[in-house]
Each structure stands twice: as structure tokens, then as C-alpha cells.
Structure 1
């Protein structure tokens, strides 16, 4: 199951998954509910575009990507996209001057520890440069 109409992964990995007869693809959908008493019995799958909900019998799920970023407190303060991710420029600056963001809560293609560390470095350097410029303006 994938929330988008296309995958954000390496083509060879996508093709390998497509070749596996045990894997089915449900695009532009999310799991909206889990059912079961002692163990999982089924899930409701909601199509993001149509809103249609389909019940799918399963005894297990494996969530390996996908999350809801913890950005609710930023609504109305900085620009967020439809998924609640913080919209940033290349220097990690947000829609609010002097506010920077980094890591898995920003809009980006790859979500790995190494990319988050890189984002943090960029945000730190850019915010330092911003503060230096602000300091110069205040001293003039």
C-alpha cells in the first residue's frame, strides 16, 4: 500500500517487488482501521482520492515507511504541505524568516539518518549566516 500514485524508491527495488507473486500493490491509499481481538484479522483501506473504504483480510502488517510528522503545533505558523511536512528551501529555511527546519519532518524524497544529519548541518550553517547578517544590520 502506498499513499502516492508512484513509488519514491530505486527502480530495481520496485521491479523486484512487482515480480514477487506474493506482493499486491494498492496505490493512493492508507490504512484507516485495524480489526481483531487476539490478533489482526483485517484492515480498512481508504482510497485517498475517492474516499472509498475496502476491508482487506490479513493476519499481519509491516509498516516500513510512512508516518504522520509531529508538526500539528506549527499549523498556521509555517507552511506545511498536505501531509503535514514542513516546506523548506534548499537552505532549510521555512516560510517564516529566521526559522529553519531539518530531518524527517520536512518535504524531501529520502528519509534516512544520514540525510537528516545533512539537513541539520545545512540548517545550522544557514541559520548562523542569517544571525550574522541580522547582527550586522543591528550594529549599523
Structure 2
């Protein structure tokens, strides 16, 4: 079986590699009629000690990532997210987002969060869940908690 890849440069610092080999859908996720949905992302994180940590993000699980709608990875993204929350849900929620991004979750954590995940609410009257992720030393025993 041949391995087919296509590479696409979207911007100077965004390169995609597509593995075009078709695979069965072993997830519980379903594509939309006219749009694919993300089932899994693999991220190589550059840590402050210049080592790489590989993280598989599975969106088909009960880990808190199901129904994820946004992944925020830097200060600009957090400010855009917080501004949107401030407009739609109020300053209190926006301030919680800014605080969670700017600080370690626990003083003993090795670093501040690497990214945030925003989960769409089940009911349109509810506030979306926001998770800060990958600043802890212990990833296994502590699932991310909604900061709002």
C-alpha cells in the first residue's frame, strides 16, 4: 500500500501535511453534510527547556474536549476570545479567561497554560466551557476543569 502525502503552505509559518491514505472512521463523530469535523490533532509542543512534548488531542472522548469549537494558542487569541466573551457574556467571564491564561493553575506547575479549548454549550443560554491545558506537570490524574 502506498503512502500518499500532499504538503500545503498556508502562510510563512503554517505548513500542512495531508496523509491522503483513507482510513475507517472508528470514532463516534460524524461529519457534517458539507464539512469535515476534527477527530484528533497531534501537537509537538516546544517546552521552556527546549524539549518537545507530543500531545494527542482526541475530540471523540469524555475528556472534556468533545464538542470543542476553538483552540487558542497565544496572547492575541486569548484577547480576541476574552473580548468576545466580554461582549456576549460579561466582563466577569472575560476576566477569568485572561487570568487563567496569564497565571499558572497551581503555583507548583512548571509553566503557564500552552493552549485553551473552548467547548460549545449544549444550550444556547449557557456560557461555553473554557479549559486551560498543558501547564501542569501531572497530566494523567488531573483532567482540565472548566475555568468559567
TM-score band by shorter chain is: under 0.3
Structure of higher CA gyration radius: 1
Between Structure 1 and Structure 2, the one with more helix by share is: 1
Looking at both structures, which has the greater relative contact order when contacts are Cα pairs under 8 Å and sequence separation is at least 6? 2
More strand by share: 2
Normalising by structure 1, report the TM-score.
0.25
